[in-house]
Amino acid sequence: MSHWTDAIIGERMAVDGSFSDRVAASQFSTAEWDLIMTATDLDMAEADDPESARIVADTDDVAAIIPELESIRSQTAAMAGQPTTEDQAASRGGVVDSIKRALGLGSSGEDDSDDVDHEKLAAAEQLTAEYAEVLQTHLEEADRFEQARQAYLDR
């Protein structure tokens, strides 16, 4: 079964292109934004009512990838020849913790929920909400929102 957003893939691509300026102005790199959007599910609130229906970003899974954003930043820095946070941690004697983090195992058995940067999470949630609004506006202007709403209802 296809996802309801498959019906609007062309519009999503157009919005992705126009939204790239907003991403560039944010604290997130393009690679980080791609990961955030992979963890975000677009949903439709009040889809039964054509007048009230709106696209919303379901970010329930985004918290789980927030710690990985630092890894992306570190990889980008390493490719640019800059010291990474893993290099800095290793130089402080945290080699085992660095390896565990790189493997996604956390550090020394501590609770990984402490690894979530709540400011980054809030920024990611805000940016995905903006994306959903821009997508809805684009669909309405292209006279395609009703098609998207019907695709959502038919799923």
**Per-residue pLDDT tens over the stretch 3-31:** 899 999 999 999 999 999 999 999 999 99
Tell me the one-letter amino acid at 150. Answer: Q
Whether the per-residue pLDDT at 111 is higher than 50: the answer is no
Whether the per-residue pLDDT at 135 is higher than 90: the answer is yes
The chain-wide mean pLDDT, for the chain, equals 84
53: left (phi over 0), alpha (psi -120 to 50) or beta: beta
Choice between 76 and 65, residue whose per-residue pLDDT is larger: 65
Asked if 121 and 63 touch (Cβ cutoff 8 Å), the reply is yes
79 band by pLDDT with thresholds 50, 70 and 90: confident
Q: How many structural domains comprise the chain?
A: 1
pLDDT at 103: 58
DSSP 116: -
Whether the per-residue pLDDT at 92 is higher than 80: the answer is no
Tell me the one-letter amino acid at 102. Answer: A
Pairwise CA distance, residues 138 & 45, whole Å: 17
Domain around 145:
4-154
110 band by pLDDT with thresholds 50, 70 and 90: very low
